[in-house]
Chain A
């Protein structure tokens, strides 16, 4: 009985989550007539798959895609590298003020993006980086407090004797990081990488502020171009939205088991 209730609740919740996605998908394949029909067409008779290619072709989405890929790939590499390196430092080195600095780092998580927006704009403007992809990439190379925290916790589950064994084997600190901890961190890195990828892929506000020229636009900005002053191309928005959902979905399916693993804290044992 309780099981039935639980299943009912789960099915209801899943439906609730899937519904907007399904609605978007259905909208994406509607004809113009079906779109404006009243009462709304729940299940179109003709599925216009060509809407996807049409929408993609209406604007320079290949350029937006290229920009997005550059931003996502470079910022994810940067985030993985810098956060893991900083985490390694905090987890394995003793230096005066370490714990205070770490708390300070964590405190930066409490500063909302809205507060940093204008100073950051001024800073990047000063550097001449406005209208380039740099403001969307470079900050990721300076690590992110939450990721540092996560990776540091992960490193701390690994016995220090392993570092010491490597030290006796002749490894220096860099080699211990690169050859021992980085491979051991892989599950946590998948988690961090997935977060960073999805954040960068979906980021709208950042590109909106820093990018003016359409040749530098990323996909979310390109998508927003369909919302013109006079009309909104609903079908194209839906079609491109569906396309944009696919990479994060694929990534998430692939990364799922690592994410579950590291979220459950089952790291390297013995």
Chain B
């Protein structure tokens, strides 16, 4: 129960080759993760990729098919949920409907035989932090979605766990409240300093809240890194396509030459080679994929740049415009330009891919190492 006192037992979470299958279906296919004490980590991935299953495995609500979990140096793999020193906030809140807010929050404490005075103190403290003090006598039915969410968080806080698990805690709230609660969660983490794992399928939530993000794809860790790492150095095609909105543009390409610390390649439909700085030496016989983020793809005059296409759709968002440009083979690329860019539907335009901003993925979909400009590099290594 002692949290980070003297730093002796840090609440590091270590997961080793965790496997989980439901009958014949492998849901988690070997997860390795090391999460540091006090870190805010998100599990991000499309629906059905196994985020909840991974979280529930950590909580002890699923029996593992294989692997081990350590928390703060203890092997908790076979411990029952209640003895793991972990609290969880469920997506549907899972408040006890027949108990008022106070009882909901104190239920776990009184089950563990805590003294009434201490329970009252903790409930009052948590209620104060979450500003639900005047709701303590109410039943869950009498609360709004946002208030229920707070109570669910309060129920987790009072236990002072080593690790907080939150499964899509904001997904049942309306958009406005989601933004407010997001900020409050960040503040709460700051205040409690406790390790938090946050499951979401919303990349904005993951990117804004987390120190580091685990991107999950079909039961595997696709990449584990800081939000900016994921954005600037996606490890593979999945992460590159998943992080960032609008999505990164992809073009099939082939390697035309390899020099010292650089390769040249030619994307399908382009008129000229692109020289990209990378120490990698991919097999020239195999195709690669060229990726370029919409905000880096430049619209130029027809005949300029490497590509030519027709504007299909111009989405004007005010501060910026999203141009959807169809190439001759039907591929549609998206470019973000300024809000006042004059291009209109059916216009013929040229597209320029700045070599420094290009991402290259080998035939297996893995990213080739890329050089970043010094400012970005500094941000990433902070």
Contacts and interface: CB of A to CB of B under 8 A. Distances in A.
Interface of A: 159, 161-162, 164-171, 175, 179-180, 183-184, 268-270
A269 B59 CA distance: 25
A147 B81 CA distance: 32
B312 interface: no
B108 A184 contact: no
A170 B87 contact: no
A265 B91 CA distance: 24
Given A165-B94, A270-B141, 18 more contacts: A159-B92, A161-B92, A162-B96, A164-B81, A164-B94, A165-B90, A165-B155, A166-B107, A168-B82, A168-B86, A168-B108, A169-B82, A169-B107, A169-B108, A169-B155, A171-B107, A171-B111, A183-B98
Interface in B72-130: 80-82, 86-88, 90-98, 107-108, 111-112
A-B interface, 3 closest residue pairs, ranked by CB to CB distance from nearest: A169-B108, A161-B94, A170-B82
Nearest to B91: A161
17 contacts: A159-B94, A161-B90, A161-B94, A164-B61, A165-B94, A166-B107, A167-B61, A167-B80, A168-B60, A169-B107, A169-B159, A170-B82, A170-B111, A170-B112, A171-B111, A180-B96, A270-B97
B94 A184 contact: no
Contacts of B95: 162, 165
A268 B155 CA distance: 20
Contacts of A180: 96, 98
B294 interface: no
B45 interface: no
Contacts of B91: 161
B309 interface: no
Contacts of B81: 164, 167-168
A165 B88 contact: yes
A167 B108 CA distance: 9
A175 B111 contact: yes
Interface of B: 59-61, 80-82, 86-88, 90-98, 107-108, 111-112, 140-141, 148, 155, 159
A168 B88 contact: yes
Contacts of A162: 94-97
Contacts of A170: 82, 108, 111-112
A180 B81 CA distance: 18
Contacts of B159: 169
Contacts of A179: 107
A269 B93 CA distance: 12
B87 A270 contact: no
A169 B90 contact: no
Nearest to A182: B98
A159 B91 CA distance: 11
B140 A168 contact: no
A104 B92 CA distance: 35
A63 B88 CA distance: 57
Given A183-B98, A184-B98, A167 B140 contact: no
Contacts of A167: 61, 80-82
A194 B80 CA distance: 39
Contacts of B141: 269-270
A197 to B, nearest CB: 23
A179 B148 CA distance: 20
A91 to B, nearest CB: 16
B96 A166 contact: yes
Nearest to A160: B94
A267 to B, nearest CB: 9
A15 B272 CA distance: 96
Between B61, B86, B91, B159, the greatest number of chain A beta carbons within 10 A of the residue's beta carbon is seen for B61
Nearest to B141: A270
A170 B94 CA distance: 15
Contacts of B80: 167
Contact of A168 (B59, B93, B96, B148): B59
